[in-house]
């Protein structure tokens, strides 16, 4: 039954996320470079990346704490006391940081080279966006624990991308300037938080108490671990974009971001499924239902690996043609970055709900050394590959891949040793070889299509991507169906396709 809930909401969330990724792809690959230019695009990415690094500190772990503890309370009073205490947690850090922002502003500016001083006028947007994102995640978790993820997912994935599209078109039409684009985008983050808050209160409105829950000391302890672990995770994801302006021009952030976006495209199903897997895993652990936990672990692993494998093939086998469509030469040559980032994402997807098992179990403390260790390691590897060995953005992607492979393997071993469960099945190996064979078959080969111009632009790369993608999809679906890799996917294919 639980996997049915997962698949239903995951299906809706996947459609939402891939719709968002499609809009984001158009923004990232065409609108941003064409309408905003590499310099302002790099500036926007830097501001958002730095906000993402700050956000977990400001959230004080409240969004993770919500999922961990809410299902353990049995009475409405206990739940209301818990929610009442959590809602003010982010302010404990946000208010002091805002009061001393001048010092943080100076620290940020000391880390960038002279060519990137344009960042100076917009650092307060970093603070506002990070506070808004902290409270957005808190209220989104509020709805997750009631197994309601779809509306929050629309706001999380679609809202900002649609707003960006509207704002970029407004820049193109001369309705707003590039500078105003940044201010309007900041305002969109603020508005999104209030919409999420009102929706959370619509789902469940507590009777606010000034009395802490009985296990408040345990909550504080958990939040302390999670705030550090979550911050480390954010550093791992965004430190590379944050470090580029310390050596290269802000335009390099834009070039690298496009390649990372392409590589990250494959993780959309994981993001969709995780929204509902987190509360279900937490509930199963709180109920000590280890059979259900293991079932979720194996099924989430094979289904995410299967869907992620298809998009891994589509992205990497079409990336060379895709870069031909970019307006500036600086974007080209990012194939290795795409390959390394997508490999890291695919391995993470193979682990299924591994992270949710650790975070919501009594062993959650291990997230701290894992998170801090990965953040410190990726920082020093970035320093080595990017600054010392001068490997460029390939070095940044390589450090990310190495760290994710090592620390995800540690998490895999940890769950195996503590819970005696693994995501591996014989079908995992079959699927691995399917992906490997198709990758080798299609990566170095393209259709020989003559130049086809539309509005003075060569669209032959688009045609090549379409034809090649269709061929890969047909081969992939045929193989996974005939080898019965996933019961859920096979049932879906039988319903709509005759194979």
pLDDT at residue 458 greater than cutoff 60? yes
In the block, tokens 């298809």 appear at: 310
Confidence of residue 191 (pLDDT cuts 50, 70, 90): very high
Positions of E strands within 335-408:
none
CB atoms near residue 361 (< 10 Å): 19
- pLDDT in the model for residue 267: 80
Give 314 or 260, the one with higher predicted confidence: 314
Q: What is the pLDDT of residue 9?
A: 58
Alpha-carbon distance of 120 to 104, in angstroms, equals: 12
Give the helix, strand, coil percentages of the chain, each rounded to 5: 80, 0, 20
Average pLDDT over residues 24-39: 79
Is the pLDDT at 471 greater than 70, yes or no?
yes
- Contact (Cβ atoms closer than 8 angstroms) between residue 120 and residue 72: no
What does the pLDDT read at residue 413?
Answer: 93
Q: Is 116 helix (H, G, I), strand (E, B) or coil?
A: helix
Q: Can you tell me the distance from the alpha carbon of 392 to that of 243, in angstroms, rounded to the nearest whole number?
A: 12
The pLDDT value given to residue 142: 84
The angle formed by the CA atoms of residues 268, 272 and 273, to the nearest 5 degrees, is: 120
What confidence score (pLDDT) does residue 213 get? 72
Read off the pLDDT of residues 147-166 as tens digits, 9 standing for 90 and up: 777 788 888 888 989 999 99
How many whole angstroms separate alpha carbon 356 and alpha carbon 377?
23
What integer pLDDT is reported at residue 206 of this predicted model?
75
Q: pLDDT by residue (tens digit) across 57-110?
A: 787 777 778 777 777 777 888 888 887 877 877 788 888 888 887 777 777 777
Residue 10 has pLDDT above 90, yes or no: no
Buried b (16+ CB within 10 A) or exposed e, 386-420: beeeeebbbbbbbbbbbbbeebbeebbebbeeebe
What would the pLDDT profile of 349-382 be if each residue is shown by its tens digit? 999 888 888 878 888 788 778 888 888 888 899 8
The pLDDT score that the predictor gives to residue 272 is 66
Alpha helices in 87-177 (DSSP H): 91-99, 101-110, 123-144, 150-153, 160-172
- Contact yes or no for 87/249 (Cβ under 8 A): no
Q: What is the band of 141 on the pLDDT scale with cuts at 50, 70, 90?
A: confident
- Region 173-200: what's the mean pLDDT? 91
Quote the CA–CA distance of 95 and 106 in Å, as a whole number.
18
Q: What is the mean pLDDT of residues 469-473?
A: 93
Reported as a pLDDT band with limits 50, 70 and 90, residue 1 is very low
Q: Which DSSP string do the residues of 176-194 spell out, in sequence order?
A: S-HHHHHHHHHHHHHHHHH
In total, the chain counts a number of residues equal to 499
Res. 435: pLDDT tops 50: yes
Q: Both tokens of residue 252?
A: 């390099």
The percent of residues in the chain predicted with pLDDT above 70, rounded, is: 87
From the list 349, 351, 296, 293, the residue with the least C-alpha distance to 6 is 296
Rounded to two decimals, the pTM is: 0.76
pLDDT of 230: 66
Q: DSSP class of residue 212?
A: -
* Res 439: pLDDT: 93
Highest mean pLDDT among 63-77, 258-272, 474-488: 474-488
Q: Is the dihedral of CA 181, 183, 184, 189 positive or negative?
A: positive
Residue 297, pLDDT > 90, answer no
Residue 437 has pLDDT above 90, yes or no: yes
Strand partners of residue 448: none
- Identify which has the larger pLDDT, 347 or 12: 347
Top mean pLDDT of 177-191, 275-289, 353-367, 370-384 is at: 177-191
Reading the block at residue 72, the tokens are: 């353990």
How many other β-carbons are positioned within 10 Å of the β-carbon of residue 433? 11
Question: Smallest Cα–Cα separation from 56: which of 85, 93, 107?
Answer: 93
pLDDT averaged over the chain? 81
């Amino acid at each position: 039954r639980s996997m049915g809930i997962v698949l239903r909401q995951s299906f809706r969330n996947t459609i939402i996320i891939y719709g968002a990724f499609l809009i984001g792809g158009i923004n990232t690959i065409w609108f941003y470079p064409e309408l905003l230019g590499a310099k302002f695009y790099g500036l926007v990415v830097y501001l958002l990346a730095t906000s993402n690094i700050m956000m977990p500190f400001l959230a004080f772990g409240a969004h993770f704490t919500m999922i961990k503890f809410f299902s353990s309370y049995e009475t409405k009073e206990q739940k209301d006391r818990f929610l009442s205490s959590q809602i003010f947690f982010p302010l404990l850090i946000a208010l002091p940081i805002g009061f001393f922002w001048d010092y943080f502003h100076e620290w940020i500016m000391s880390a960038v080279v002279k060519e990137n001083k344009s960042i100076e006028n917009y650092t307060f947007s970093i603070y506002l966006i990070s506070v808004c994102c902290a409270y957005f995640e808190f209220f989104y978790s509020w709805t997750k624990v009631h197994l309601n993820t779809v509306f929050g997912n629309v706001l999380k994935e679609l809202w900002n991308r649609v707003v960006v599209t509207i704002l970029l078109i407004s820049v193109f039409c001369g309705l707003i300037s590039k500078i105003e684009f940044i201010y309007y985008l900041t305002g969109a983050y603020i508005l999104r938080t209030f919409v999420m808050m009102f929706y959370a209160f619509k789902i469940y409105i507590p009777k606010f108490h000034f009395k802490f829950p009985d296990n408040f000391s345990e909550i504080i302890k958990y939040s302390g671990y999670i705030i550090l672990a979550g911050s480390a995770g954010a550093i791992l994801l965004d430190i590379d974009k944050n470090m580029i302006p310390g050596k290269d021009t802000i335009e390099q952030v834009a070039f690298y971001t496009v390649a990372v976006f392409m590589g990250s495209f494959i993780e959309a199903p994981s993001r969709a499924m995780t929204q509902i897997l987190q509360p279900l895993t937490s509930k199963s652990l709180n109920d000590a239902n280890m059979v259900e936990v293991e079932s979720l672990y194996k099924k989430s692993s094979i289904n995410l690996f299967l869907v992620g494998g298809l998009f891994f093939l589509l992205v990497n086998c079409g990336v060379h043609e895709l870069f031909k469509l970019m307006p500036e030469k600086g974007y080209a040559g990012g194939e290795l970055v795409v390959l390394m980032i997508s490999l890291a994402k695919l391995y993470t997807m193979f682990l299924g709900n591994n992270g949710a098992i650790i975070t919501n179990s009594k062993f959650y403390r291990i997230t701290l050394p894992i998170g801090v260790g990965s953040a410190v390691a990726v920082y020093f590897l970035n320093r080595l590959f990017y600054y010392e060995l001068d490997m460029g953005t390939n070095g940044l992607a390589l450090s990310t891949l190495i760290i994710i492979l090592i620390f995800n393997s540690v998490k895999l071993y940890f769950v195996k040793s503590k819970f005696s469960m693994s995501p591996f099945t014989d079908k995992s190996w079959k699927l691995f070889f399917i992906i490997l064979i198709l990758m080798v078959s299609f990566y170095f080969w393209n259709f020989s299509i003559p130049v086809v111009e539309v509005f003075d632009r060569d669209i032959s790369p688009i045609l090549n991507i379409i034809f090649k993608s269709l061929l890969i999809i047909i081969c992939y679906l045929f193989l996974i169906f005939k080898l019965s890799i996933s019961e859920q996917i096979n049932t879906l294919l039988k319903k709509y396709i005759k194979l």
